Structure 1
Amino acid sequence: MFFDANPFWRLSSSLDMVRGILLTSNLPQLQNLIKRDPAAYKEEFLQQWNHYNSIREIFAINPEEQAHHFGELVTFISQVATCYPKETAQFPTQISTLLLESYNVLSLDTKKTLVQNLVMLRNKSVISSVDLMKTLFPLLPQTPSSNLRVFIRKTILNDIKTANLRTKNHKLNNAVQAMLFGMIERGLGADFVGDKGKTKMPAPTDSRKTSEEAMWAIILAKELWRKGIWRDAKTVAIIAQGCFHPVIKAQSASLHFFLGDEEDDEVDSDEENDGIDVRSVMHKREINKKTAANDRKARRLLKEAKKQRTKVTESIANFSALQLLRDPQTFGEKLYDILHNHDKKFSLDHKILIMQLLSRIMGSHKLCVLGFYTYIVKYLFHKQLRIPSILAGLAQSVHELTPPDALIPVIRKLAQEFVHPGVANEVIAAGINSIREICRRQPWAMEEDLLSDLIEYRKSRDKPVVSASRGLLRLYREVNPSMLKKKERGKEATMSVTGGAQPLPYGHAPDAATDIEGLSLLEDHLKELEMAKDGDEEEDEWNGWDVQEEDSDSDSDSDGWQAVSDDDEDIVISDSEDEAEKKEKEAADAEPRVSTLATTKILTPADFALLNTLKASASGASRPATSKNKRKQTDADDLNATNDFISENDILGPRKKAKADYEERMASIRSGREGRAKFGSAKGKQNKEHPSSTTNREKKRNKPIMMIMGSSAVKSKKTASLRQKQRKLRNHINKAKKS
């Protein structure tokens, strides 16, 4: 019989076996031990790694089998992947491939586990941000769970924000922007579905997938713009591409972005919303228990909501995306083609949305899309739905370079449909205001006979009509008084006409173009570079020429420096030359400077790009840096001065007080309740043990006789028969006995 000569070996081997079993069944404990000493537990990790590979092959065939155990192994390997980088080199690729190829057949818990572990690998710098984005972007349109969708969306935004926190990460930004471009472009070749009527057919599966991809690309680009992470022309180009998408939902989201609307066109309503529902807060304040803590909480939420509304208003006022369009003329022509070719497929609201954006681009960039005026004429009726928005868009599209021949038929149509005795005064005022806004931008679009007729409405009895007509009269007294009759010109306009003043012809600017805007900045920048280069060359020339040092006690030679004593009166040091140079420089700065760089150098695209950068930095340096609100206000003032957008109120003019809607009435009620201890009547509550108001019967008893003389109760007493009086008396006696 064989006996083991070393029983301690058997004991240690059995202990190792027990330890292996314990560590295999307790992955969190093994994970903790591996992080402390990776080399000592490498065999245990390799055992789990082999186990993971076996289960992964089974899981690829049948995802429902051992899904929970597979998720635990993935989490374990993700936690310790940095300890064994060589062994787990293919692990992130395996997870990404599994998500992209089998995402629709995986369970929701497995999806969450795999996505979370992939994000963990990015946080541990095992994979790059670009690799993570390549996996997460295709998952957004396929995710039915709102919670998982919000997590993926937050991860994408936070990762891009963190990468651009200190300096711009151009590599990541370019890669992500290329992905967003691709997500939108994949669906541009499909047919327009439209949103008019109930005849639209359900889109195919591939079309729905591409439309969801485009929608998410637009949402992410808008969010990155809103948060200030991306504020460049590439972001604007991505959303501009969405304006031509055949799916109405994606197209509408892009149009709202350029118009500055805060209407949320996201995929579903269960997305993350940072805003505060004021109506919900007020409702909870009314129905919940009245305590001081609840009141403080409600006031704090209302104050925060007010701050958010102010922030939204400032962001809308600082909307500069229209100015970053690369080719506004082509963009406007494409918008008009969509509007004209697919007119029957779009609802009126969507067509007005396209009109508003097209007119705003035409006014901002001074474009000429002449077909737009022929198209919009068919909507110029006073009974047309949403006609104030259409008129505002029409006036917004006009500028000083718009041909008057294209506007004369439009103004005639407005005068025929809106300005005549057969319509209401509000319609007349809206028509004259629209004509005035068009003529304010292009005065040569008005005819003398029509102008004379419109000015006569200043004698009307309706205040809005009088105001509109007088506004038109004041306009032509300033821009072209020769079109008015002599008695209508006024004193100053008559003097200007008598003095020989003539209005500027069409196409002429008040000041001739003498320079490219901001070209002096580029000239100064190039001069600074040349001076810096010359200074470096001069320093290089002095290299090797050291001045010989001498002792202070040695006598200086005749060719050396000579000391100047205080007794020498012949040498006079004056700053007169410096002062003269300073005055000359101030005088030069006061005059308009014309750069000669364009006549001495051929400007390249790189020079123009540098010029745009210098202009942006100069405008940022000119703003006060002490206050953030001042900077935002300056941006808003600059934008308003450039675009001069028109609202519906400019078309409608001053109106009588309209009937308040529900929100306005509730706001008035809430403002009236402020400062009151208790709502309701305080009558009859002073001298009672338990405060209460009087009953309706008591109030009826205390009414004056003259208030109830005409009531049915009093009249019925006068006309009651004897039998009715007896019956009423008997009922009164019986009731008194019972009480």
Structure 2
Amino acid sequence: MKPRHNNQLAHSLPQLQNLVKRDPPSYKDEVRQQYSHYRTLYAQPSEYTSDKFEELIMFLANVCKHYDFKDQFIQDCMELLKSQAHVLTADTRLCICRALIMMRNKGLLEPLPLLELYFGMFRVKFDKNLREFLKQHIIADIKNTNQKTKSTKLNNTLQNFMFTVLKDSDTQAAKQSLDCVVALYQKQVWNDAKTVNVIATACFHPEVKVMATAVKFFLGCDEEPQQNDSDSDSDSDAPDLKDALMTHKINKKSRKRQRWLENIKKKAKKAKKSDKAPSFNFSALHLIHDPQTMAEKLLKRLEKLNERFEVKLMILNLISRLIGVHQLILFNFYPIILRYVQPHQREVTKLLQYAAQACHELVPPDILEPVVKAVANNFVSERNSVEVMTVGLNAIREICSRAPLAIGEDLLQDLVMYRTFRDKNVSTAARSIVALYRQVNPELLKRKYRARPTAEQQETIHLKKYGQTVAADFVSGAEVLNEDSGNDEDDSDEEQPNDSEDGEWIDVSHSEDEAPAERPEEDDENDDCEESDEEEDVEYDDEEGDCGEDDEAGDEADGPARKKLRKEGADENTPVLSLEERREKAKMISSTRILSQKEFQKVRAAQLAKKVNVALPRRFVKKKNGTPTETVLDPESGLIVDSALRKETVALRDIEKLSKNLKNDKAARLASIQAGREGREKYGGYKQKKAEYASLSNKQKRKTKSYNMIKHKARSKVKRSFRDKQQALKVSLKKIIKHKY
């Protein structure tokens, strides 16, 4: 039933809107009247800026779905934005955009025409608020459209349109479109290769702002994944039921709080049911179709770029990551790095990081050797500070961990000499290089710097030649299993103490007589091989594996090995399998049966024991030269050479790492200066004054007078004899002493 005073509804649009929602047919005439009023104002462009026009637009947007003029109203709003967007005021544009979004949310509009219109609105100048509002709507609308099921046809159409906008000459439109595409990739809506490659094309945009946004995407999408996203509907944001129950138990009971608790229970139950498989974000750098061409174009753009140094650093970082991830061959990149490898260069640690990231095993050693030599000559020198030397040694270690052939034997021996440097930071960095080549290629080190090899190193250490690859054809450590699969299942319970069913750490102990596999770097100076003379090469007996010891010492070293064999229940005459025999047995077991989980645990325990147990002397094994396997080092040691396990990026803290804080750094010096000033009088010369409020003396007053007034006195002082000067000084000193004491 209509209200009694219908004429009041014309002046109260919110009241009429409320009534229309309850009973639309009853108020058809009143809405028609307001629509006629809107058409009158629409025909007069001068009325577009009036408050009445904006109120009518919002009113009709709320109620038009109940009437037949909705299509005409939507068309009018869209035509108004297309033709008059640059003429309308900011408030009017924002009002019309909100009205269209409201009708889109009610299902009156298809997403494609509205999104195309809003992308065109990015070209409107001097309206930042509108651009941010439209960008948020575009991202939310596309995300909601693909929330339940992904519409491939709609996504392809939208992507093609957005990609054409990225090539727009208008900087604002291209920048906002790129922001939308990047946000949709980070929200896992458009995370396919097509999106990544279109963002890659934006790296060559003539406008620096657009180019920097695309470069930052590739540099930051893997390091800083979005966390705590307000628009995310993931199950990780589900409320904590335990905290809610405790809160409800303590606070006052009410109906509102009871409903709140019931809603939390429903959400927690829903989150528990939807146990989805974890989604892994694949690196965007891996989805680039032609990384070689992209890196070459970026390098060409960098050579002609005349922008800030920070922009050049970003491009260098992206090129280095492309080279490292895809193992590209780009020889012109390393001479550019050499220009900046100087201790006084700004952001030099980042440049060293980029140099290490661009290294891999397929780069020829002749190309990388000048980089290593430049770092060694400019940084690792006693004329530099200890911080500079430490950074240089750390950078060389990172380069050599990715390309072990990049350094020569002579340069390596020079760097190893810094392991006994007076500063701990430098010595620790040098010892890390020694530890690296103990794992990678001990032959490059002098014999006195090689540690006693472990059982694992005896099997795996092998320096691959340039371009050499070795494919693993068996499970390493499978030789500890019995050839009969049934025996391993029966013996699994007996050997359970050496296994870990829950995936915990395995405690592998060894005899006290046995030396540890690899001692800490700080204890390298205590090696038996170095106690005699550090400058003297110690002969390393290949047959016995001991440092310059005679046969008797070798026999003593064999005692623990024999004791170990006896302890394991084997006879002293039982032959120990050689490296080739262990490899053949592992191949046979790996190729003839499928290993169970218990057998894999047993293999892992054996491999872990090989890391800590010293290798048996070679007199116990048959002398057969077998082909060593591919080097795969422990990821926890940080000395990873295998490209499959190597990290894609180099952490800056690995290059800037200092094992000990410096005592003479700037902060410590300033603190000592401030501590010395405490309790000390204020700095300044002594001024003679009669009393606190006394007037100035004649001598002090003369300082403010012009020279013409006192030049006769200055002349008289010049003509004074030595005796007069002596007497005047004596009087002056007496006055000072009398006043002071």
TM tier, smaller = 0.5 to 0.7
Residue 287 of structure 2: aligned partner = 324
- Give yes or no for the alignment of 1:133 onto 2:115: yes
- 1:488-499 aligned at under 5 Å gives the runs 488-492=449-453
Residue 221 of structure 1: aligned partner = 181
Aligned partners of 1:141 and 1:216 also within 8 Å? no
- Give yes or no for the alignment of 1:57 onto 2:27: no
- 1:437-452 aligned at under 5 Å gives the runs 437-452=398-413
Aligned pair partner of 2:206 in 246, 260, 277: 246
Aligned pair partner of 2:373 in 409, 412, 416: 412
Equivalents in 1 of 2:318, 2:63: separation in Å? 53
Q: Which runs of 5+ in 2 are unaligned?
A: 225-229, 233-277, 475-591, 601-642, 672-677, 692-733
How many residues were matched structurally? Answer: 481
- 1:243-392 aligned at under 5 Å gives the runs 243-260=203-220, 320-342=283-305, 345-392=306-353
Equivalents in 1 of 2:200, 2:299: separation in Å? 14
Structure 2 residue matching 1:259: 3-state secondary structure: helix
Equivalents in 2 of 1:471, 1:651: separation in Å? 12
Aligned partners of 2:381 and 2:389 also within 8 Å? yes
Give the C-alpha shift of residue 452 in structure 1.
2.0
Residue 196 of structure 2: aligned partner = 236
Which segment is superposed worse, 162-171 or 358-367? 162-171
Residue 649 of structure 1: aligned partner = 653
Equivalents in 2 of 1:400, 1:231: separation in Å? 30
- Give yes or no for the alignment of 1:78 onto 2:61: yes
Higher helix share: 1
Give the C-alpha shift of residue 253 in structure 1.
2.1
Give the C-alpha shift of residue 155 in structure 1.
2.3
Equivalents in 2 of 1:154, 1:495: separation in Å? 56
Structure 2 residue matching 1:444: 3-state secondary structure: helix
Equivalents in 1 of 2:663, 2:60: separation in Å? 66
- CA deviations 1:570-627 (Å, max 9, x no partner) are xxxxxxxxxxxxxx985489999xxxxxxxxxxxxxxxxxxxxxxxxxxxxxxxxxxx
Residue 89 of structure 2: aligned partner = 107
- CA deviations 1:35-94 (Å, max 9, x no partner) are 4444454444444434433321212xx3556x3232233223212211124x33232122
Task: Assess, with a 3 A threshold, how the Cα gap between structure 1 residues 721 and 348 changes in structure 2: closer, same or farther.
Answer: closer
Give the C-alpha shift of residue 117 in structure 1.
0.8
Equivalents in 2 of 1:707, 1:46: separation in Å? 88
Structure 1 residue matching 2:342: 3-state secondary structure: coil
Aligned partners of 2:322 and 2:328 also within 8 Å? yes
Structure 2 residue matching 1:161: 3-state secondary structure: helix
Task: Assess, with a 3 A threshold, how the Cα gap between structure 1 residues 507 and 262 changes in structure 2: closer, same or farther.
Answer: closer
Equivalents in 2 of 1:424, 1:408: separation in Å? 24
Task: Assess, with a 3 A threshold, how the Cα gap between structure 1 residues 586 and 419 changes in structure 2: closer, same or farther.
Answer: closer
Aligned partners of 1:373 and 1:410 also within 8 Å? yes
Give the C-alpha shift of residue 387 in structure 1.
0.7
Q: CA RMSD in A?
A: 4.7
Task: Assess, with a 3 A threshold, how the Cα gap between structure 1 residues 663 and 19 changes in structure 2: closer, same or farther.
Answer: farther
- CA deviations 1:295-324 (Å, max 9, x no partner) are xxxxxxxxxxxxxxxxxxxx9x97832233
% of aligned pairs identical?
35
1:458 alignment partner AA: R
Structure 1 residue matching 2:41: 3-state secondary structure: helix
Aligned partners of 1:180 and 1:238 also within 8 Å? no
Task: Assess, with a 3 A threshold, how the Cα gap between structure 1 residues 642 and 322 changes in structure 2: closer, same or farther.
Answer: farther
- CA deviations 1:510-561 (Å, max 9, x no partner) are 32699xxxxxxxxxxxxxxxxxxxxxxxxxxxxxxxxxxxxxxxxxxxxxxx
Give the C-alpha shift of residue 640 in structure 1.
11
Equivalents in 1 of 2:667, 2:285: separation in Å? 33
Give the C-alpha shift of residue 391 in structure 1.
0.3
Equivalents in 2 of 1:138, 1:662: separation in Å? 54
Equivalents in 1 of 2:38, 2:665: separation in Å? 64
Residue 572 of structure 2: aligned partner = none
Task: Assess, with a 3 A threshold, how the Cα gap between structure 1 residues 724 and 233 changes in structure 2: closer, same or farther.
Answer: same
Task: Assess, with a 3 A threshold, how the Cα gap between structure 1 residues 346 and 652 changes in structure 2: closer, same or farther.
Answer: same
Structure 1 residue matching 2:44: 3-state secondary structure: helix
Structure 2 residue matching 1:492: 3-state secondary structure: coil
Task: Assess, with a 3 A threshold, how the Cα gap between structure 1 residues 110 and 319 changes in structure 2: closer, same or farther.
Answer: same
- CA deviations 1:108-158 (Å, max 9, x no partner) are 321222111111111211102222222222324526455544433332233
Task: Assess, with a 3 A threshold, how the Cα gap between structure 1 residues 263 and 140 changes in structure 2: closer, same or farther.
Answer: farther
Structure 1 residue matching 2:155: 3-state secondary structure: helix
Residue 415 of structure 2: aligned partner = 454
Task: Assess, with a 3 A threshold, how the Cα gap between structure 1 residues 585 and 40 changes in structure 2: closer, same or farther.
Answer: farther
Task: Assess, with a 3 A threshold, how the Cα gap between structure 1 residues 101 and 326 changes in structure 2: closer, same or farther.
Answer: same
Task: Assess, with a 3 A threshold, how the Cα gap between structure 1 residues 586 and 476 changes in structure 2: closer, same or farther.
Answer: closer
Equivalents in 2 of 1:373, 1:721: separation in Å? 71
Aligned partners of 1:388 and 1:651 also within 8 Å? yes
- 1:624-635 aligned at under 5 Å gives the runs none
Aligned pair partner of 2:394 in 433, 452, 459: 433
Structure 2 residue matching 1:104: 3-state secondary structure: coil
Residue 118 of structure 1: aligned partner = 100
- CA deviations 1:385-428 (Å, max 9, x no partner) are 11100001100111112222211222222222222333223222
Aligned partners of 1:355 and 1:393 also within 8 Å? yes
- Give yes or no for the alignment of 1:506 onto 2:466: yes
- 1:687-706 aligned at under 5 Å gives the runs none
Q: Which runs of 5+ in 1 are unaligned?
A: 1-14, 188-209, 265-271, 275-314, 515-583, 593-638, 669-699, 729-739
Which segment is superposed worse, 647-656 or 143-152? 143-152
Equivalents in 2 of 1:30, 1:357: separation in Å? 59
Structure 1 residue matching 2:94: 3-state secondary structure: helix
Residue 167 of structure 2: aligned partner = 185
Equivalents in 1 of 2:444, 2:455: separation in Å? 12
- Give yes or no for the alignment of 1:478 onto 2:482: no
Residue 146 of structure 2: aligned partner = 164
2:92 alignment partner AA: T
Aligned partners of 1:256 and 1:262 also within 8 Å? no
Structure 1 residue matching 2:205: 3-state secondary structure: coil
Residue 239 of structure 2: aligned partner = none
Task: Assess, with a 3 A threshold, how the Cα gap between structure 1 residues 656 and 489 changes in structure 2: closer, same or farther.
Answer: closer
Equivalents in 2 of 1:324, 1:397: separation in Å? 19
Equivalents in 1 of 2:451, 2:13: separation in Å? 93
TM-score, normalised to structure 1, is: 0.56
Task: Assess, with a 3 A threshold, how the Cα gap between structure 1 residues 48 and 510 changes in structure 2: closer, same or farther.
Answer: same
Which segment is superposed worse, 212-221 or 26-35? 26-35
Aligned partners of 1:395 and 1:437 also within 8 Å? yes
- CA deviations 1:615-642 (Å, max 9, x no partner) are xxxxxxxxxxxxxxxxxxxxxxxx9955
Equivalents in 1 of 2:403, 2:465: separation in Å? 11
Q: Relative contact order (C-alpha < 8 Å, sep 6+): which is higher?
A: 2
Aligned partners of 1:477 and 1:493 also within 8 Å? no
- Give yes or no for the alignment of 1:394 onto 2:380: no
- 1:714-733 aligned at under 5 Å gives the runs none
Equivalents in 2 of 1:220, 1:106: separation in Å? 25
Give the C-alpha shift of residue 658 in structure 1.
5.8
Structure 2 residue matching 1:420: 3-state secondary structure: coil
Equivalents in 2 of 1:108, 1:367: separation in Å? 50
Give the C-alpha shift of residue 723 in structure 1.
9.9
1:465 alignment partner AA: V
